[in-house]
Structure 1
Amino acid sequence: MQIELLDTFLDLVETNSFNRTAERLGLTQSTVSSRVKALETALGKPLFTRSRAGTRPTAAGLRLVDHARAMRREWNQARRGVKRGSDFTQSLRIGIQNDLAASHIGDWVAEFRRALPRTAFYIELDYSAQMSADVLAGELDLALLFTPRHMPDLLYETVGEVTYRLISSEAPRRADLAPERHIRANYSPAFAKAQQELLPDFPDSAVASGQNAAVCGLIAALGGSAFVLEESALDLAAAGQFHLVEDVPPIAQRVYLAVHLRQRHAHAQRKLLAIVRQYFSKPR
């Protein structure tokens, strides 16, 4: 079985479009069709039906989904196991939300290595949706992220939260801010909703970003107001060019650990989860 056939099948189940799957996988539409045909020939069953409403999996296709996900995950883990260096007993691939990495990655990885000295770690920075997909596919063993994406076979556990504060180059009070100069941060859907509730009269911003470092760079260059991580807000305020907007409450963003259900009781994953939870429980 070629793993590319399963990748193409699972993507098509998600997109319901041969054209969209071709775009996402960087293939021609005819290649997608031939891969699906090869899989159907091997299984002796049609896996999709086409209509004006789009492409939909047949009953056989739906039965294949869970098996395909499991086989893809096992293949990815086997591939990584074969590549593992002989100096380590295991390797772990960990995804971390971009904004968490800036201030936490050094402390966390140092603790991880002390707890699991015979483990090789690969750290990847990304956003929640992609990390969830990678955990499901077996490309990551676990991920620390902002937004749970409800997918089959994934388990999310709350580990703590980070805080964002509103700062401004203009004034320390909300009434004195220029709404049109606000830089809208979009760190997660939950964060965006909370920001809208706090600043309902602020229009859609001309400039926006979903990463703290980018928002800090934008407000440093353009001025105005923006929500940034509390550590960044305090540093910028201490430098004397920005004010903490004291009458707008901070926004707390929850942090989750994502792990595959098959790995929820694995010793290494539970040990890393305990380390991260303990880190967030410490007083700041």
Structure 2
Amino acid sequence: MRQTNIILSLDQFYCIKMDIELARTFLEIVSAGSFVRAAERLHVTQTAVSARVQALETQLGRPLFVRNKSGARLTPAGRDFLQYATQLVQIWERARHQVAVPPGRETVLSLGGEFSLWNSLLLNWLVWLRRDRNTVALRSHVEAPDRLMDRLQSSALDIAILYAPYHRPDVKITPILSEDLIAVTTDPDNRTLSGENYVYVDWGPDFANHHDTAFPGLKDAGTFVDLGPLGLRYILEAGGSGYFRTRAIQRFIDEERLFPVESAPTFSYSVYAAYSRRAPEEIIDWALNGLREVAKQSFDKWV
């Protein structure tokens, strides 16, 4: 692989970086819908966000936002600039991503996952990737779904695993696994979902929406966990009820340690991979094959 030397003066570097920060801030405001929420996402003050927008508007010679009580909306000039800001950030992130390849590595693969998916799906995936091809440098991020999608769209991230990704320009989505979630209890004489002993497991936003509609009284359960195995081990030790993956609990049903709540609805549990269209196709195919293999091999262990 040919090595390319890129030499920038310090002034040139800071000028490029500053322009990228201005464009990134602009896109964050568009995504968040307000200067306040954009400042929170960027971990800077609202004053800093306002100053960046003012600097950008000065360079372009046009106002980009109209601010009101409900947030901020784009002006016609802002709508025109949106596509250019997106392209600017994407090109910069991809260039930074490829130039920063560590010595001894051929390329960089940047991965992400939702908080409740890092253990152990993302972890096992990273292990598989390293063992299968150690010439690829790995970067991992655990963040909220919106941030992961933003990173994918800007090409700062190659692939992310999420419960319910939504479509964005230049981002593709593919299913990784799907299974039913059923309600079970440890009490054979009371096969209901009781608020007193109910354990709410965070199976993602789709589950939350359907669950809250079916069980409004269980929305604020006394026990909440964000990892399936933890919730399952808890009710097996302490007793209680909750929703769990069918394959993960089948042996406990067979052993009569858990009992299905037949009156409760069944919900679907799915995990998807979202990936950047701009990432190299060969490296994406390899990484997704590894993800599917890991998900299949460790299915009963991690959810």
TM-score normalised by L of structure 1: 0.80
Q: Does 1:206 align with 2:221?
A: yes
Match of 1:261 among 268, 271, 277: 277
1:145 is displaced (CA, Å) by 1.4
Superposed, 1:243-258 pairs within 5 Å as: 243-245=258-260, 247=262, 251-258=267-274
Cα displacement (A) at 1:281: 6.6
* Residue equivalent to 2:3: none
Q: Which runs of 5+ in 2 are unaligned?
A: 1-15
Please give the alpha-carbon distance, in whole angstroms, between the structure 2 residues aligned to 1:128 and 1:172: 40
**What one-letter code is carried by the residue in structure 1 that aligns with 2:287?**
L
CA distance in 2, matches of 1:58, 1:137: 22
Assess, with a 3 A threshold, how the Cα gap between structure 1 residues 124 and 215 changes in structure 2: closer, same or farther. Answer: farther
2:64 pairs with 1:47 = yes
CA distance in 2, matches of 1:162, 1:128: 21
RMSD over aligned Cα atoms: 3.4
Question: Following superposition of structure 1 onto structure 2, how do residues 100-115 of structure 1 map, counting pairs within 5 Å?
Answer: 100-105=117-122, 108-113=125-130
- Deviation track 1:123-169 (CA, whole Å, cap 9, x = no partner) reads 33444333222212333210121111233332212232245443323
Matched, 1:147 2:164: yes
- Contact 1:129/1:149, CA 8 A, preserved across alignment: no
Partners of 2:101 and 2:108 within 8 A in 1:
yes
In structure 2, do the counterparts of structure 1 residues 89 and 42 end up closer, same or farther at CA, with 3 Å as the change threshold? same
Map of 1:170-209 to 2, 5 A cutoff?
Answer: 170-171=187-188, 174-175=191-192, 177-196=193-212, 200=215, 202-207=217-222, 208-209=224-225
**Counterpart residue identity of residue 184, structure 2:** I
Q: Is residue 2:99 matched to residue 1:86?
A: no
Cα separation, 1, equivalents of 2:70 and 2:125: 48
Amino acid at match of 2:64: L
* Distance in 1 (alpha carbons) for counterparts of 2:82 and 2:27: 7
CA distance in 1, matches of 2:220, 2:176: 32
| Long gaps (5+) in structure 1 | none
Match of 2:287 among 239, 248, 272: 272
| Mapped partners of 1:21, 1:97: distance in 2 | 20
- Kindly state the Cα deviation for residue 52 of structure 1 after the two structures are TM-superposed: 4.6
1:96 to 1:11, Cα distance in 2 relative to 1, 3 A: closer
Aligned residue pair count: 280
CA–CA separation in structure 2 for the residues paired with 1:97 and 1:63? 32
* SS of equivalent residue, structure 1 residue 257: strand
Distance 1:100 1:29, change over 3 A: closer
Identity %: 27
Cα distance in 2 between the residues matched to 1:201 and 1:57: 38
More deviation, 273-282/146-155: 273-282
The answer to whether the 8 Å contact 1:46/1:58 transfers is: yes
Letter in 2 for 1:171: P
Give how far 1:279 is off: 5.6
- 1:8 paired with 2:25, answer yes
User: Any idea what SS the aligned residue of 1:174 has?
Assistant: coil
Pick closer, same or farther for the CA change 1:126–1:12 going to 2, 3 Å: closer
TM-score (norm 2): 0.76
Which is worse superposed, 93-102 or 210-219?
210-219
Write out aligned runs for 1:124-143 (5 A): 124-143=141-160
